[in-house]
Amino acid sequence: MTLFDPETDATAASAPIMHRRGLMLVISSPSGAGKTTIARKLLAADDQIALSVSATTRPRRPGETDGRDYHFVSQTDFDQMVEEHAFLEWAKVFGHSYGTPKAQIWSRLKEGRDILFDIDWQGTQQLHQRAEADVVPVFILPPSIDELRRRLQSRATDSADTIDARMDRARAEISHWHDYDYVVVNDDVERCYDEVRQIIAAERLRRARQTGLVPFVRALVGDTTHPRSSI
């Protein structure tokens, strides 16, 4: 992606390639509603999006890879990272600690890369406080509570007790839906995925994210001081 430079590129006003700041796409949901499923599809289809890999003290599930799905760490290491202010946000979820490492987040955003966060409502609130303008919060709802339980059971990664605990917490998690700008029901994976893609497409076009707009508009009309009257 090149930056439009009005000093050196006289023709760029007719064919600009805009630089933009990346966005922080946050996907939350009650456990089992499908956010990891949607996140994996987004990451596979769009190389502008990178996953923020969280650190966690929860045990690794079958099929999960250290460094790809999570950084699996001991409670001692996690506590040390908290003390060293190494997390952008962190929270206790289902009795385990989860946190978003700060490393590379800001530099990636500046490069125009989007970062996807699969985090809960506590983490979303903390990110919002730190970087409101960059955060695009999306909440995924299951089509029903019965279907949520079916999905947790069919995933077959958790014990019956763990599933009960996640179901007990689902109502409390869902009560935070109104903290999110976007809410999508995951009845059908493809439809839900398409809707999230549409959200990303619209958010990428936000004026505030398109850092190349000012020189481009100046080249178009020679002035950007009164956008409404001069464009």
Ligand X SMILES: Nc1ncnc2c1ncn2[C@@H]1O[C@H](COP(=O)(O)OP(=O)(O)OP(=O)(O)O)[C@@H](O)[C@H]1O
Ligand Y SMILES: Nc1nc2c(ncn2[C@@H]2O[C@H](COP(=O)(O)O)[C@@H](O)[C@H]2O)c(=O)[nH]1
Residue list, annotated binding site for ATP? 29-36
As a whole number of Å, the end-to-end CA separation of the chain is 25
* 15 vs 203: CA distance, rounded Å: 21
50 DSSP β-pair partners: 115
Which one of 19, 36, 169, 197 is in contact with ligand X (CB under 6 A)? 36
From 148, 216, 222, select the one nearest 187 (Cα to Cα): 148
Among ligand X, ligand Y, none, partner that 34 touches (CB below 5 to 8 angstroms by kind): ligand X
Among ligand Y, ligand X, none, partner that 32 touches (CB below 5 to 8 angstroms by kind): ligand X
Told to check if 57 binds ligand Y by CB under 6 A, we report no
How far apart, in Å, are the Cα atoms of 51 and each of 6, 102, 138, 168?
34, 13, 15, 28
Told to check if 189 binds ligand X by CB under 6 A, we report yes
* 143 vs 147: CA distance, rounded Å: 7
Annotated binding site: 29-36
With CB under 6 A as the contact rule, which of the stretches 35-43, 80-88, 201-209, 212-220 interacts with ligand X?
A: 35-43
Half-sphere exposure (Cβ direction) of 18: Cα atoms closer than 13 Å? 17
Told to check if 31 binds ligand X by CB under 6 A, we report yes
* 121 vs 116: CA distance, rounded Å: 14
* 154 vs 176: CA distance, rounded Å: 25
Residue closer to ligand X by CB (options 13, 50) is 50
Told to check if 25 binds ligand Y by CB under 6 A, we report no
Q: Which residues bind ligand Y (CB under 6 A)?
A: 28, 31, 54, 58, 89, 91, 93-94, 98-100, 118-120, 122-123
Rule CB under 6 A: which residues touch ligand X?
29, 31-37, 151, 154-155, 186, 188-189
